[in-house]
Amino acid sequence: MSDQIPHLPAYDEATLDLSFAVLEEDVRVSAAAAASDPEAFRLLWLGRKQGRLKLISEAWLKSAPAEARKPLGIRFNQLKESIERVLAAPAAATGPAVPALDVTLPGLVRQPGIPHPLLTTMDRIVEVFHHLGYSTELGPQVESDFYNFEALNFPENHPARDTQDTLQIAGQASKPSRDRLLMRTHTSPVQIRTMVAQAPPLRIVIPGKVHRNDAADATHSPIFHQVEGLCVGPDITFSDLKGTLDHAMRALFGTGVKTRFFPSFFPFTEPSADVQISCIFCGGAGCRKCKHSGWIELLGCGMVDPAVFQAVTGERRRLGLDDTPYDPARVSGFAFGMGVERIAMILHGVSDIGYFYSGDMRFLEQFA
Ligand SMILES: [Zn+2]
């Protein structure tokens, strides 16, 4: 240990407390050696010429302003007592300092963690489809243009491919357009990846995070979650799609829930439909939550467009795989997708999507 005395920058109470706390800690540390060599410890602190106490007295006490003499003196004496205590019983002073324990104080309660409400909702949706024999597939969030758009039948100039809507990865301009990387805008590329890797029949459910170049508001977030499903085999029909989703909606929202299908458009399905469920709050009578229509729009779906099967076939051929299993003349299929945030908002009556990402414990604790 250095026998230099630390500089005392000021004489106010806080500085004195801090400076003497450092010295008390030095005493405690050097006391470890006092048991085997008490004389060295005594010389270090109490030596008549170069002892630290003597040096402190010269450096700090003698130059102290009059009003600081008393507070400085009190602390100096306390330090001296600590040193003398070590010399009286060296072995006892070497243990770590143990603060007094007041058993009457309330304890530190460790909050058990809970799954985030979005994860719980996602798990709930996925589980419904697991019971129908679907298996879970996952894919990367950084995706190529081919898997996110081209294979899903988005035309070259589709607005979704614009940087206004899609977050593009920088420095991709020199690559062919199919290889350019972007943040996936939906979980659908996992459908393509799975079909390229596996022959039908196929029943998969795809939960995951997706990214859009969207401004955040009460119902939009640039990052959100989807669950998609895909079923491919010989003779899969629109009736299978209707029956599957009708069952899934009743499993999720209660057996009294009705579904209805409206014509819609997605590049990767033909025909396409939007699915509404009867309002879970008013049972269809009309209320504020369903804007007095009795129905809530929940998901999109449709029969897989033959162009998607052709893209999968082309990619399998490019990779040297068997290019026959997804011949549109031999297989058909349906796909559906839903927003996890929207379903969680409906299930829990949450009015602003931002609450899910705020990290506000007062919000999250309600799901414990
Ligand atoms: Zn309603």
- Interval 173-190: pLDDT, tens: 999 999 999 999 999 999
- Residue 225, beta-bridge partner list: 209
Taking Cα atoms as reference points, which of 58, 53, 35 lies closest to residue 43? 53
What's the CA-to-centroid distance between 52 and ligand 1, angstroms?
A: 81
Q: Are 63 and 209 contained in the same domain?
A: no
- Residue 200 within any structural domain of the chain: yes
- Residue 219: band (very low, low, confident or very high) from pLDDT cuts 50, 70, 90: confident
What's the CA-to-centroid distance between 252 and ligand 1, angstroms?
A: 17
Q: Are 146 and 247 contained in the same domain?
A: yes
Q: Output the CA angle 283-286-288, nearest 5 degrees.
A: 110
Q: Which residue has the tokens 């929940």?
A: 298
pLDDT score for 99: 66
What's the CA-to-centroid distance between 296 and ligand 1, angstroms?
A: 8
Domain that holds residue 64: 13-94
Which range is most confident: 82-96, 98-112, 281-295?
Answer: 281-295
- Residue 112 within any structural domain of the chain: no
Domain count, the chain: 2
CATH number, position 191: 3.30.930.10
Alpha helices in the chain (DSSP H): 13-30, 38-46, 52-56, 66-88, 117-130, 145-148, 189-197, 238-253, 306-318, 340-348, 361-364
Is the peptide bond prior to 176 cis by the omega test (within 30 degrees of 0)? no
pLDDT digits (tens, 9 = 90+) for 106-140: 777 777 788 999 999 999 999 999 999 999 999 99
User: In the Cβ-directed half-sphere of 77, how many Cα atoms lie within 13 Å?
Assistant: 5
What's the CA-to-centroid distance between 349 and ligand 1, angstroms?
A: 12
Q: Are 140 and 229 contained in the same domain?
A: yes
Q: Are 212 and 164 contained in the same domain?
A: yes
Which range is most confident: 52-56, 266-270, 288-292?
Answer: 266-270
3-state secondary structure of 264: strand
Spatial distance between the Cα atoms of 116 and 341, rounded to a whole number of angstroms: 12
The answer to whether the Cα torsion of 75, 77, 83, 88 is positive or negative is: negative
Q: Are 72 and 192 contained in the same domain?
A: no
- Residue 183 within any structural domain of the chain: yes
Mean pLDDT, residues 263-281: 96
What's the CA-to-centroid distance between 337 and ligand 1, angstroms?
A: 23
What does each C-alpha distance from 238 to 47, 270, 304 come to in angstroms?
96, 10, 10
Q: Which residues contact 216 (CB under 8 A, 6 or more apart)?
A: 222, 353, 354
Mean pLDDT, residues 37-49: 88
